[in-house]
Amino acid sequence: MARKPLTEDDDEDQRTPEGRRRSQPAGSTYEVGYGKPPPHTRFKPGQSGNPKGRPKRHRNLRTVVEEALAETITIREGDRTRTVPRLEALVRTIMNRALKGDPKFVASLIALIRTVDLVGDEPEPDTDAPATREEEKLVADFVRRHGGSLPELMRLDGLLPLGSAPTAGPGLRNNDGEEGA
């Protein structure tokens, strides 16, 4: 690339000895370097280096649905009007239609109740409670049909510690190998 010859209009002080144009007047104390751009290339006040700015994030389906359900609408209950979120209006509609006996809305209401955990869980069975006579008969019948002794099976399940064994009861064998009553 050919250099432009110096003319009378060019100030020779504005060029380096190699013929390159200086970014600042000679005798200036400002040092150009890393992180120190020449003053004429800096952003002007009120001007940004990213004029369009960062692009807005994409909204996913969940965000769109949440925003739509959070919008308020006006509903009429009897003689008065109320402003409620769309979600509340939807729940009220499901409730009213279910109470009128619409089976689809009854199913929707039950699903909604289960989703928000409004139904209490069934109580845990009490495992420390003593076995009833009916349960004892059931266990004794199981042991009789599958062989083995009840204390042996209970030890395998971790229900009885080693060295302890009930000596009498339905489904239990005594030392002679006969089943007790």
**By residue range, what is the domain housing residue 76?**
61-115
Neighbours of 140 (CB within 10 A): 18
More confident residue, 175 or 153: 153
**One domain for residues 65 and 99:** yes
Q: What is the pLDDT of residues 32-74, one digit of tens each?
A: 888 888 888 888 888 777 778 888 888 899 999 999 999 999 9
Q: Which of 38-42, 63-67, 124-128, 140-144 has the highest mean pLDDT?
A: 63-67
Question: Would 42 be classed as within a structural domain?
Answer: no
Beta strands in 33-124 (DSSP E): 72-77, 80-85
Given a contact cutoff of 8 angstroms between Cβ atoms, the answer to whether 110 and 104 are in contact is no
More confident residue, 89 or 133: 89
Contacts of 145-149 with CB under 8 Å at 24 or more apart are 149/173
| Number of structural domains in the chain | 2
**One domain for residues 103 and 72:** yes
Question: Would 84 be classed as within a structural domain?
Answer: yes
Evaluate if residue 90 carries a pLDDT over 80. yes
pLDDT band at 176 (very low <50, low <70, confident <90, very high): low
Evaluate if residue 132 carries a pLDDT over 70. yes
- Residue 121: the pLDDT is 67
More confident residue, 73 or 124: 73
Question: Would 15 be classed as within a structural domain?
Answer: no
Question: Would 67 be classed as within a structural domain?
Answer: yes
Evaluate if residue 23 carries a pLDDT over 80. no
Question: Would 147 be classed as within a structural domain?
Answer: yes
Question: Would 180 be classed as within a structural domain?
Answer: no
**One domain for residues 104 and 65:** yes
- Residue 82: the pLDDT is 92
- Residue 7: the pLDDT is 57
Nearest to 118 by CA among 90, 95, 148: 95
**One domain for residues 109 and 137:** no
Question: Would 153 be classed as within a structural domain?
Answer: yes
- Residue 28: the pLDDT is 64
Dihedral sign, CA of 162, 165, 171, 175? positive
**One domain for residues 111 and 140:** no
